[in-house]
Amino acid sequence: MVFIYHRVDKRIILVKQFRPTVNGDVIEMCAGLMDKNKTPVETAKEEILEECGYDVQLEDIIHLKTYLTGIGISGPPQYLFYCEVDESMKAADGGGLKEEGNLWKCEIIFFNTGWISITIEEAREMLNEKEVNSPSSVLYAISWFLQNKINVP
């Protein structure tokens, strides 16, 4: 998974995708299945381009954490990365690959204005909401971002 921050527009780029298991749209980070022939960071680079349309260099994708998921079922590791983008890196529209049946909208969440208006304070409040239409990894990534990128003196 990749937490993507647009450094010029000061916005977080997330993927909005319909998930049948919850019968609705979910806001997620850019992510994908690991290819056995690729490293986690190579997979992250590929997914950033496929899903959000940004061509990010491998050295600009920062590994934040590896943790276990689905521990009651299979317990695979999940890799969390961070990168910053700007429009000079825009190489495609994003939205997934048609041949994989993955077509969705890569939405931009602005801190000031945009499709979904969310301030820094609202992002902090999201962490305290009782119900959030996102996986816990998004909440963790927002916490990390607020602590390490926004609140840095």
- Give the integer Cα–Cα distance in Å for 21 and 110: 27
What is the pLDDT confidence band of residue 112, given thresholds at 50, 70 and 90? very low
Q: Is the pLDDT of residue 1 over 70?
A: yes
Residue 27 maps to which CATH number? 3.90.79.10
Structural domain boundaries, residue 127: 2-150
Count of structural domains, the chain:
1
Which range (40-49, 69-78, 90-99, 109-118) has the least confidence? Answer: 109-118
What is the pLDDT confidence band of residue 109, given thresholds at 50, 70 and 90? very low
Q: Is the pLDDT of residue 136 over 80?
A: yes
Q: Which residue has the higher pLDDT, 97 or 83?
A: 83
* CB under 8 A, 24+ apart: contacts of 94-99: 94/49, 94/50, 94/51, 94/52, 94/53, 94/54, 95/51, 95/53, 96/50, 96/51, 97/50
Angle at 128 (CA atoms; ends 123, 130), nearest 5 degrees: 120
Q: What is the mean pLDDT of residues 75-81?
A: 91
pLDDT digits (tens, 9 = 90+) for 17-76: 778 888 878 888 889 888 889 999 999 999 999 888 899 999 999 999 999 887 888 888
pLDDT of residue 17: 79
Q: Which residue has the higher pLDDT, 20 or 78?
A: 78
